[in-house]
Amino acid sequence: MDFFQKEENRLLFRYNGECVMVMPWGEDALRVRSSLLSDIADGSIALKPQEFSLETMDIVISDERHAKIRNGRITAEFFVQEWGNSLQITYRNQNGDILLREITNGCALSRKARDFKALPGGNYRLKVSFESNPEEKIFGMGQYQQEKMDLKGCNLELAHRNSQVSIPFYVSSLGYGFLWHNAAIGEVHFGLNTTEWVAENTRQMDYWITAGDTPAEIEEHYASCTGTVPMMPEYGLGFWQCKLRYYHQEQVLEVAREYKKRQIPLDVIVIDYYHWPRCGDWRFDEEYFPEPEAMVKELHDMGIETMVSIWPQVDWRSENYEEMKQQGLLLKRNSGVDAQMIFHGNNVFIDATNPRTRKYVWEKCKKNYADLGIRLFWLDEAEPEFNDYDFEMYRCHAGAVSEVGNIYPREYSRLFFEGQQSMGQKDIVNLVRCAWAGSQKYGALVWSGDIWSSYEDFRKQICAGLHMGLSGIPWWTTDIGGFHGGDIRSPEFVELLLRWFQFGTFCPVMRLHGLRQPGKTIVNQAGEEREWTGAENEVWSYGEEAYHIMVKFIRIRELMRDYTRMLMQEAHKKGTPVMRTLFYEFPQDKTCWELTDEYMYGPDILVAPVCYEKAESRRVYLPQGAAWTNAGTGEIYQGGGWHEIPAPIDTLPIFLREGRQEYLIHQI
């Protein structure tokens, strides 16, 4: 019986209606697809087309039950088991070590490594199962709000939510990277007995696997196949000022003028949501922003870029709703009243997967924002934030949301990126609340959503930023101080804010934001209550001591501008994270794989945030293989051990690798 077939650069297995195809896809990498009772579909939802070389690949069919395909340092071995003629695939590196292996197929248990369950309409619920190595450590997968670095043992939803970003790519301590190349809503279980991937609604199986001797090699392989970020503009290297919300034009200008008066460096000021009349109008409300072009010009004259918030919701009362509904440019609820989010009215979401929608929305934003000189957009609500997250209830141009919905935030970023490109803009960076595989190539700067102002949430953001970097998203930031629950009158909150501000200095982008208490109600001239505004959130809003500490760290950020620019160049060229786990730089040091609350800012700066209340010191691990200089004292430590480091409120432990970046010494 001929189970195997060789076609040019691909190895196929066929039996009982299933076809499995494996082929080279990038350096030291394979793409693996399977379909049931249908041809394997061409095309790609995230992976870029790749050329292959006959010099690095090899296909061998040994006998009717054994075959293998090699591409560089990774090999897939096919074994057809005698019970049921079921296929089991094993992946090995160049040394013959097992990287990943499918589960055995069933015997009396009737288990299947690739389990297709038919759904009405022709698609399947798919579960793909692998053996689990209990010693393996797993990192990446996007952003989940949990204080965990090693994801082994975790159950993760493959879906987006406010503050949750599902990017189904991980880096393994065993020396491989894995992308679940499927945008369906689902889940993954990194169990100690098996690893199981589930797509609730899909046409075929599709994943990508690569081998590498270091995490850096794996990350670069992934970036070469899914894309890298553009070069970060100069205004992305400094300090960004934001709050919920600057609700009128003069308020924006007053804050900017005060920064200039005090000679505090400021690169970007952000105008948050509901500066518009209704969601879906995509323009300034004339009552509060009567001369937006003059406002933008004055800010530019001060050397400050303007960023405006964009929401993908369209209020039923919006001036654009009826036309967009008629033209089929909105997401569609399968049944019932089509109100997908209720917030200041009934709203539906634009269909970002539809090219006609992207063209329509960009034309509005170009006319009302970009033509005024605005070059940065804050793409909020990017998941999108359905009221109930019942994904199976909605459809879009690309298909059922349950089947393809996870691409939505990427296509939302694409809308603006391609629009800005069409105007000739090259220095593109847009803040966005969610992402998927490939979002990085559309200038996506992801922030961690509407998180709480607490030390617990602070610690979670450290993990989130590191996982995002390993998921191929090097541009990441967070609301300094948290979004919800920060009272500017509270000494406890001010302490948290300062510790978060110090951490924010060593994030890819440094941005102060939040809904500060106490808030203020806004009522327009027509007597309608508008979205409220929070308390002041500028660096001078928290007292003299806090002011001097925050200004000190803004100036430290400026000192690092050349260094940060270098990191952004690496991210652009190779996909290298800006904010890195210690094991990324020191993979041979086993302790570096265990840490959750310290990290590298680039290759040379070790950051140990103070993330517990009232702490004035903390334990810091310094990796083996380097000497480390305390940036605050100049003291030199040898790597390979733990140290208790003083950290009064005006500083945090920062160490410089082998004495490099000496301009920072005694500044921190």
Three-state SS string over 30-78 comes to: EEEEEEECCCCCCCCCCCCCCCCCCCCEEEEEEECCEEEEEECCEEEEE
Beta bridge partners of 13: 4, 20
Q: Indicate the burial class of 50 (C-beta count within 10 angstroms; 0-12, 13-18, 19 or more).
A: middle
For residues 240-251, one letter each, b for 16 or more C-beta atoms within 10 angstroms of the residue's C-beta and e for the rest, the string is bbbbbbbbbbee
Residue 506 backbone zone (phi > 0: left; psi -120 to 50: alpha; other: beta): alpha
Q: Count of residues for the chain?
A: 668
Give the integer Cα–Cα distance in Å for 134 and 363: 52
Give the integer Cα–Cα distance in Å for 496 and 501: 8
Claim to verify: residue 255 and residue 359 sit in the same structural domain: yes
pLDDT of residue 406: 98
pLDDT of residue 562: 96
- Residues 6 or more apart from 287 whose CB is under 8 A from it? 524, 525
Claim to verify: residue 586 and residue 560 sit in the same structural domain: no
- Residues 6 or more apart from 115 whose CB is under 8 A from it? 126, 127, 128, 129
Claim to verify: residue 603 and residue 654 sit in the same structural domain: yes
> Which CATH number is 651's domain given?
2.60.40.1180
Give the integer Cα–Cα distance in Å for 224 and 228: 7
pLDDT of residue 55: 83
Give the integer Cα–Cα distance in Å for 25 and 31: 6
Q: How is residue 613 written in tokens? A: 């209340």
Full residue range of the structural domain in which residue 615 is found = 581-664
- Measure CA 468 to chain center: 5
In DSSP notation, 485-525 reads: SEETT-HHHHHHHHHHHHHHHTSSSEEE---EES-EEEE-T
Give the integer Cα–Cα distance in Å for 227 and 382: 20
Domain-ending residue, one of 549, 574, 599? 574
CA dihedral 574, 575, 580, 581 (to 10 degrees): -100
Claim to verify: residue 570 and residue 593 sit in the same structural domain: no
pLDDT of residue 663: 55
422 by DSSP, 3-state: which? helix
> Which CATH number is 559's domain given?
3.20.20.80
Domain-ending residue, one of 520, 546, 574? 574
pLDDT of residue 664: 62
Claim to verify: residue 127 and residue 186 sit in the same structural domain: yes
**Which of 239, 245, 243 is closest to 260 using CA atoms?**
239
Specify the number of domains making up the chain: 3
Claim to verify: residue 523 and residue 613 sit in the same structural domain: no
pTM higher than 0.85 = yes
pLDDT of residue 207: 98
Catalytic residues: 380, 383, 450
Distances (CA, A) of 226 to 91, 169, 179, 353, 447: 21, 11, 10, 18, 20
pLDDT of residue 84: 85
Task: Give me Rg for the CA atoms of the chain.
Answer: 26
Claim to verify: residue 211 and residue 284 sit in the same structural domain: no
In DSSP notation, 307-356 reads: EEEE--EEETTSTTHHHHHHHT-B-EESSS----EESSSEEEEB-TTSHH
**Which of 307, 308, 306, 330 is closest to 318 using CA atoms?**
330
Claim to verify: residue 569 and residue 617 sit in the same structural domain: no
Claim to verify: residue 390 and residue 452 sit in the same structural domain: yes
Claim to verify: residue 660 and residue 545 sit in the same structural domain: no
Amino acid at 279: C
pLDDT of residue 660: 66
Q: Are the beta carbons of 468 and 440 closer than 8 angstroms?
A: no
pLDDT of residue 500: 98
Domain-ending residue, one of 574, 589, 622? 574
The pLDDT tens digits of the residues spanning 210-257 come to 999 999 999 999 999 999 999 999 999 999 999 999 999 999 999 999
> Which CATH number is 44's domain given?
2.60.40.1760
**Which of 68, 66, 65, 59 is closest to 92 using CA atoms?**
68
Claim to verify: residue 10 and residue 102 sit in the same structural domain: yes
Half-sphere exposure at residue 322, Cβ-oriented, CA atoms within 13 angstroms: 2
Claim to verify: residue 524 and residue 600 sit in the same structural domain: no
Q: What residues in the chain have per-residue pLDDT under 50?
A: none
The pLDDT tens digits of the residues spanning 437-481 come to 999 999 999 999 999 999 999 999 999 999 999 999 999 999 999
Q: Provide the edge-to-edge strand list for the sheet that holds 579-580.
A: 579-580, 599-601, 605-607, 654-657, 627-630, 636-638
pLDDT of residue 662: 59
Return the DSSP state at 585.
H
